[in-house]
Chain A
């Protein structure tokens, strides 16, 4: 059974870059679809973006081109970079395995433990 272990800096200053990494244990990252999702008490759950098995990425337009999702197949890791952060980017961030098949709509199958990120001067 796949397990996701994530880490990254938890305290950032405005204008810095948020960088998170998610290690995939129990299966190969290749051939799967992966997402990042964040959550705040005020705004709830927000989909950040995804990377599909072919390496194509799709991002939430609300993040205005600040986000990059990538994979390192040699390390079996997924990464998230969000630049020019503000206080509004303070949230719990989750890496997520997406269940994507031809016979069923997609859903978020397995979630990492979450990384709490705070942005403050």
Chain B
């Protein structure tokens, strides 16, 4: 299953509302997760099962969607949110990732 994220990069400012999209080549139901990665660090899950916020992640980060179309929203954007975000599907093996969206 191919995952296509858009945009590939996004310029934004603190306080903005930003939305990242992930489209799957076939339905993945709600088996879609989002990860945040900062330079020099491993990825960290922020959203799982399409819309569940991982414990410890601020509520300004949210996810929605099902089937083939998903979104990650950050509102309002804070300085610590500038990072690269990846979507990932766990619906079928092999698990696959989107190419990433760099938020700068």
- CB atoms of A107 and B33 under 8 A apart: yes
Residues of A contacting B42 with CB < 8 Å? 94, 111-114
Distance of A33 from chain B, by nearest CB (Å) = 11
B35 interfacial by beta-carbon distance below 8 Å:
yes
Instruction: Enumerate chain A residues within 8 angstroms of B100, measured Cβ to Cβ.
Output: 44-45
Q: What residues of chain A lie closer than 8 Å to B98, measured between beta carbons?
A: 44
**Scoring A residues 41 to 64 as 1 if CB is less than 8 Å from chain B, else 0, what string do you get?**
000111100000000001011100
Q: What residues on B are CB-neighbors of A109 within 8 Å?
A: 45
B52 (CB) vs chain A CBs: closest residue: A104
The B45-97 residues at the A interface (CB cut-off 8 A) are: 45, 48-49, 52, 86, 88, 90-91, 93-97
- Whether the pair B49, A108 counts as a contact (CB closer than 8 A) is no
Chain B residues, Cβ within 8 Å of A112: 42
Residues of B within 8 A of A44 (CB): 86, 97-100
* A61–B88 CB distance below 8 A: no
State the CA gap A114–B86 with chains docked (Å). Answer: 17
Interface on chain B toward A: helix, strand, loop, or mixed SS?
A: loop
* B11 nearest CB across to chain A (Å): 20
Q: Which of B29, B31, B97 contacts A106 (CB 8 A)?
A: B31
- The 0/1 profile, CB within 8 Å of A marked 1, for residues 27-49 of chain B is 00111110100000011110011
A108 engages B52 (CB within 8 Å):
no
B30 touches A105 (CB 8 A): yes
Chain B residues positioned under 8 Å from A45 (CB to CB): 43, 86, 88, 97, 100
Using Cβ atoms and an 8 Å threshold, which residues of chain B touch A94?
Answer: 42-43
Pairwise interchain contact A58-B93, C-beta atoms closer than 8 A: yes
Interface assignment of A73: CB less than 8 Å from any CB of chain B: no
Instruction: Enumerate chain A residues within 8 angstroms of B94, measured Cβ to Cβ.
Output: 47, 60-62
Partner of A107, one of B29, B48, B93: B48
The answer to whether B45 and A104 have CB atoms under 8 Å apart is no
Q: Is the CB of B49 within 8 A of A104?
A: yes
A-B pairs, top 5 by smallest CB distance, nearest first, are A111-B42, A105-B31, A107-B48, A45-B97, A106-B90
